[in-house]
Amino acid sequence: MRGELVLVTGGSGFLAAHCILHLLKAGYRVRATVRSATREADVLRMLKAGGAEPGAALSFAVADLMTEAGWPAAVAGCDYVLHVASPFPPGVPKHEDDLIVPAREGALRVLRASRDAGVKRVVLTSSFAAIGYGEPPAGGRPFTEENWTDPSGKVSAYVKSKTLAERAALDFIAREGGSLELAVVNPVGIFGPVLGADHSTSTGFIRRLMDGAIPGLPRLSFGVVDVRDVADLHLRAMTNPVARGERFLAVAGDFMTVRQMAETLKARLGASAGRVSTRVLPDWLVGFVGLFSAEAAQIVPELGKTKNASSAKAVRMLGWAPRPREEALAATGESLVRLGLLKSSK
């Protein structure tokens, strides 16, 4: 319904900014949380880069996932909440609890405040990380929403944080959610148009490829989806009655190898692709580097693994229709060039 108020947490983030753009375009009023009022200007700059001048349709609230303060005021009067905020650092945290605690406890803070304020539904941004790191489906079938990552296995702190946070959210709704509804979106790697210098880890990977900071490519594969389509799926999950209590994988087609991604950038962007390499590194060399780099060590267990996932549920139940994966990657590279965020453009 036009004019309803939606809270978007982590408003200065890559996905959150695109969610705000979609909500404003659909006629909603939006309140965005930021950890500091100094970030409000950053949000407005990103929205302007996305073609929006929100005016009175956008307001802000200061709230941090690590504290209770600010959340009751943030959700007051809201009809819906998109809980997008969650830590996803480019490197490795000193301790896994640096990621797990904000993700899990932050989700519970948002849910408690939403329940107490009479919010209709919360859409939680989870991740494929909460799905695709357990036992692979039998017969080589793709991962679906029926699968869950085993957080007790050998998984990274980020993977564990997303799994535990989603589990905690579902348990909360089942035990003490009252009339509050929950839907979950589980994106793979999110790409697409960058709106400013403060973008995401996934788009940062493309920036590093184009800057030549990755001289060789590991034998990895992962899913690709456009940020605009992930935002669209959040809105569909927010209002469609059939989405209540459901989780939805967001992926555009089959997974891609890193080499396929690099080749797509070169084919779509030409000379603008910069210093993208298509040379694949042998696994032993990646493993050797992992001995000296905690960040590189995280990817070693995934080398050579073939995974896939299906978004058939979101397509069938919510009418979701994502852009091709190649378009998402090209849009990432084009926006990095346009905004002058590559070393070669400075």
What is the helix (H) or strand (E) element at residue 24, kind and residue range? helix 14-25
Q: What are the contacts of 171-176 at 24+ separation with CB within 8 A?
A: 172/108, 172/111, 172/112, 173/111, 173/245, 176/115
The residue annotated as part of the active site, out of 25, 48, 154, 162, is 162
What is the residue type of 140? Answer: G
Q: What are the contacts of 196-205 at 24+ separation with CB within 8 A?
A: 196/42, 196/45, 196/46, 196/49, 196/339, 197/339, 197/341, 198/12, 198/14, 198/42, 199/14, 199/341, 200/13, 200/14, 200/15, 200/88, 201/88, 201/89, 201/90, 203/14, 203/332, 203/336, 204/90
Q: ∠ CA(169), CA(328), CA(316), 5° rounding?
A: 55
What is the residue type of 57? Answer: A
Sequence-ordered strand ranges (E) for the chain: 5-8, 29-34, 58-62, 80-83, 121-125, 181-187, 189-191, 221-222, 224-226, 247-250, 256-257
Question: Which residues on neighbouring strands pair with residue 123, listed in sequence order?
Answer: 82, 183
Task: Respond yes or no: is residue 94 known to be catalytic.
Answer: no
Rounded CA-CA distance 132/251 in Å is: 12
The residues assigned a catalytic role are 162
